[in-house]
Amino acid sequence: MTKIIGTSPLREDARVKIDGAAKYVDDLSFPGMAYAMLVRSPFPHAKISEIDASHALELPEVVAVITAKDIPGKNKIPIVFDDQPCLAEDEARYIGEPVAIVVANDRRTAQIAATLVSVKYSELPAITDPLLSLAEGAEKVNPVLGNILSRHKVNKGDVDSAMSIADVVVEGEYKTGYQEHAYIETQGVIAVPENEGGIALYGSMQCPFYIHKALGYVLGIPLSKLRVIQTVTGGAFGGKEDFPSLPATHAAIAAYLTSRPVKLVMTREEDILCSTKRHPGIVRIKYGARRDGTIIACDAEYILNAGAWSTLSPIVLWRGTVHSGGPYRIENFRVDAKAVATNSVPNGAFRGFGQPQVCFANESLIDELAVKLGMDPVELRLRNALDIGLETLTNHVIKESCGLKKVISLVRDEVKWLENRSRKERVLSNGKYYGVGFSAAFYGTGLGAGGKKIDRSGAFLQVAFDGSVQIAVGTTEMGQGHNTVLSMIAAEELGADVKKVSMLPIDTSRVPDSGPTVASRATMMSGQAIRDAAKQVRKIIHDVVAKRLGVAVETLEFEPGVIFSGAKKITFEEAVTWCFDERVHLAAQGWFKAPNTEWNSENGLGDAYYAYTYTAIGAEVAVDKETGEVEVLRIVSGHDIGKAINRREVEGQIQGGAVQGMGYALYEDLVSTNGKIIRPNFSGYIIPTAADIPEIKPVIVEEPYEGGPFGAKGLGEPPLIAIAPAIANAIFDAIGVRIKKLPMTPERILETLEAVR
């Protein structure tokens, strides 16, 4: 029986945040610090013939203006394909692409000076529509990779024959818009020159080792001279996975060339204009089913608008591809997916990572299939749901930890599905129409076959003389509760009091590379690496204790803070004192490699991931048919996560993800015309506010996964993924029209109702 796992200890990191004492990057300053501001391309595609900085340099407070030719190392940002430059050189390929770095003694001068750098552009034709980019003879958008930045296919069985014998076939095209992360703390870094000739880079980030590598590229100096320090990070959601490498390299180059600390913190406008976002998607999908509701075929096409550079698009696309048919056993499955280059801001990681787009499509279409079959949509899902012994879309046979049917049933009951679905009185007292909708999803946790090479984690654990425990991992706290959860895992495995466990602040020179903090993997991967280290240290302690107590080590039992053997009992602190007396080293390195996955990239079949989190969502809405307004009344969000390590933080992830998903579904419309994002602020880009929030009921299912710490699987992303289709299905239930484009704004709903022509 675990003592700490499954409880809800308080978050130690929250204390300083509540006090306002936590230091975020913009709260730090260094002696002699200068400020950087970027000069950015105003055109979606243009030739750069000349950069004249003389007017900017005339300002006495301006320190330097840096262009591509000044970069000491490579002009490349390493991510997947290394196609993106740090600063545009001959051509700019999207609005907002960095062209020059202005460094000044104060922030305001840097802002003004950036407007005084005169860049001679000659505009070139731009392609901002992915379908035009795919057209034959289209101008090449990405000079390195061409217009199809990445393509994935899965081909299982014989889709065409299965479709031809299917009793019922449904198909549809679904479109989704951009989504901006809208973390409350904007992107920011400070680069500080170090005495040894290297650079220390402080910043808001998810993946310090990505930045570490990028700094090595652009500065051309050994990684051993560079260190990256994560500051308290004010939200990320994927937006601080790949993107921070760009501002980090800008600040580092500026610091390296001027020998001064350089701060670069983006304004909200700049952040919305230039940082990565969720890819707009187009999904064409078709299901064939037998009369009894068995889905026998799924055929899909998936297109992502990737923007000018490839960033993480190949992997985002891959995740979407292998999940595109939904959490169902389908014998015949085919998907063709492309990430397409356009002259617009590069898109990247965002909670869900290519899945929310396909989930909106497949889960909307499942409901259409139910209508055509005359079946209850939840029954239809249960009939086809993945289960132990069944294989996923890519032929991965599930051997353990599959709570999909359970989570579907629990959410169905919690949302009072049968009762609400068959309500006779649909018009509420305020004149709005009531509807209830359902959706389901699965999510391969971790990097899986697509990111196998970096799916490992390191940890270092040491115990101090007073019995307190220090842990170093390279995965990061960005608000999600990482440090609390990992401290709990360490305490449980080591037998220490959770209050005595501390996580070392992230500095790449002091913590092991635990891989990126993405793909809902940190609890699983770093959790297992920490357990590995904790077990080793526990053994060292127990050996000493057994010897001193004169008992066999096998007789020792432990609970947080105490070790006992029969009636003999000592505290963890006493045991630690004994260990110091015995001169043993109370420290260990832990390591964990994700289980191997077998993958055939030819046909796209194999174990895409090693384990999956399963999700079911129920949503109740009230729709105003006159104004098109949708009020979400209640969301029931259920997830099989193996084990809830910290229940309160699990609920926090579920509720926060539901609200982001609700924003994606209804409000968040980033308007872009010809590659230009319009109104880049929070009065143009509308995210949910306190007054819009429905009751959100978490449902937690725990089907343990042997490979995860105490049975846990990943949870960070699943809470967002299936919200939009549940709301779309509820809107259909309420007013009988299907909205096939996100966000489902009042205007779009009225258009579909044909109230507005």
Partner 1 sequence: MFREFLTPSTIEEAVKLRNSIDSSMYLAGGTEINSIVWPCRSKISANTAIYLDKLPLKNVKVEKTKIEIGASVTIQELVENKSLPPMLLAAVRLFANRNVRTMGTIGGNIGGNRACSNIAPALLALNTSIMLAGKNSKEKITLEQYFSNHDPEKLILSIEIPSGWQKRRWAVRKHTRTANDVSLVSAAVSFSGTEAKIEEPIIAVNGVVPHATRLYELEKKLDGQSLPSREAIDEEVKKLVNPESDLRGSSEFKKHLSAVLVSDALHEAAHRVVCR
Partner 2 sequence: MKNSTLHLKLNGNEKTFLIDPADTLLDFLRETAQLTGTKEGCGKGECGACTVLLDGKPVNSCLVMAVQAEGRSVTTIEGIKSDKRFDALRASFLEHGASQCGACTPGFIISSAALLTDNPDPTDKEIRSALEGNLCRCTGYLKIFSAVKHAAENKGER
CB-CB neighbours of 456 under 10 Å: 18
| # of chain residues touching partner 1 (CB under 8 A) | 31
The two beta strands, 46-52 and 91-92, are: antiparallel
CA separation for the pair 214, 195 (Å, rounded):
21
Query: Residue 471 corresponds to which amino acid?
Result: I
**Stretches 10-18, 407-415, 622-630, 647-655: which one binds partner 1 (CB under 8 A)?**
622-630
418 interacts with partner 1 by CB under 8 A:
no
Please give the structure tokens belonging to residue 11. 């978050």
- Residue 567 interacting partner from partner 1, partner 2, none (CB closer than 5 to 8 Å by kind): none
Residue linked to tokens 């069985």: 157
Nearer to partner 1, 608 or 731 (CB): 731
695 interacts with partner 1 by CB under 8 A:
no
Report whether 505 contacts 542 (CB < 8 A): no
Rounded alpha-carbon distances, angstroms, from residue 450 to 116, 180, 608: 45, 24, 7
- Residue 746 interacting partner from partner 2, partner 1, none (CB closer than 5 to 8 Å by kind): partner 1
Q: How far is the CB of 624 from partner 1 (least distance, A)?
A: 9
Closest to 571 in 3D by CA, of 541, 530, 533, 536: 541
Nearer to partner 1, 1 or 690 (CB): 690
**Residues 46-75 interacting with partner 1 (rule: CB under 8 A):** none
Half-sphere exposure of 723 (CA within 13 A, CB side): 32
627 interacts with partner 1 by CB under 8 A:
yes
Beta bridge partners of 211: none
Q: How far is the CB of 110 from partner 1 (least distance, A)?
A: 10
647 interacts with partner 1 by CB under 8 A:
no
* 210: enclosing H helix or E strand: helix 208-219
* 287: enclosing H helix or E strand: strand 281-289
Please give the order of strands across the beta sheet that includes 456-463.
501-503, 469-473, 456-463, 587-593
**Interacting residues toward partner 2 by CB under 8 A:** 8, 10-11, 13-24, 26-27, 108, 181-186, 232-237, 267-268, 478-481, 648-649, 651-652, 655-660, 681-683, 687-691, 693, 695-696
CA separation for the pair 602, 382 (Å, rounded):
31
Site map 258..297 versus partner 1, x via CB under 8 A: ---------x-x----------------------------
User: What is the Rg, in whole angstroms, of the alpha carbon atoms belonging to the chain?
Assistant: 27
Q: How far is the CB of 264 from partner 1 (least distance, A)?
A: 15
- Exposure b/e, 711-724, CB count within 10 A at least 16 = b: bbbbbbbbbbbbbb
Instruction: Tell me whether residue 22 is exposed, middle or buried, using C-beta atoms within 10 angstroms of its C-beta: 0 to 12, 13 to 18, 19 or more.
Output: middle
Question: How far, in whole angstroms, is CA 335 from its chain's centroid?
Answer: 23
- Residue 104 interacting partner from partner 1, partner 2, none (CB closer than 5 to 8 Å by kind): none
Site map 566..605 versus partner 1, x via CB under 8 A: ----------------------------------------
Q: How far is the CB of 632 from partner 2 (least distance, A)?
A: 12
**Stretches 282-290, 298-306, 332-340, 621-629: which one binds partner 1 (CB under 8 A)?**
621-629
745 interacts with partner 1 by CB under 8 A:
yes
Query: Residue 352 corresponds to which amino acid?
Result: G
Which of 58, 689, 695, 706 lies at the binding interface for partner 1 (CB under 8 A)? 689
- Residue 336 interacting partner from partner 1, partner 2, none (CB closer than 5 to 8 Å by kind): none
Nearer to partner 2, 318 or 664 (CB): 664
430 interacts with partner 1 by CB under 8 A:
no
Which of 1, 453, 690, 754 lies at the binding interface for partner 1 (CB under 8 A)? 690
**Residues 86-145 interacting with partner 1 (rule: CB under 8 A):** 108, 111-112, 114-115
Nearer to partner 1, 584 or 687 (CB): 687
Which of 316, 594, 686, 721 lies at the binding interface for partner 1 (CB under 8 A)? 686
427 interacts with partner 1 by CB under 8 A:
no
Q: How far is the CB of 454 from partner 1 (least distance, A)?
A: 39
Instruction: Tell me whether residue 88 is exposed, middle or buried, using C-beta atoms within 10 angstroms of its C-beta: 0 to 12, 13 to 18, 19 or more.
Output: buried
Q: Is the peptide bond before 743 cis (omega within 30 degrees of 0)?
A: yes
Closest to 191 in 3D by CA, of 17, 32, 398: 32
Secondary structure (3-state) at 48:
strand
Closest to 513 in 3D by CA, of 596, 591, 609, 595: 591
- Residue 745 interacting partner from partner 2, partner 1, none (CB closer than 5 to 8 Å by kind): partner 1
747 interacts with partner 1 by CB under 8 A:
yes
- Under the rule (CB under 8 A), what is the footprint of partner 1? 108, 111-112, 114-115, 267, 269, 626-627, 629, 666-667, 671, 678-679, 683-684, 686-692, 745-747, 750, 755-757
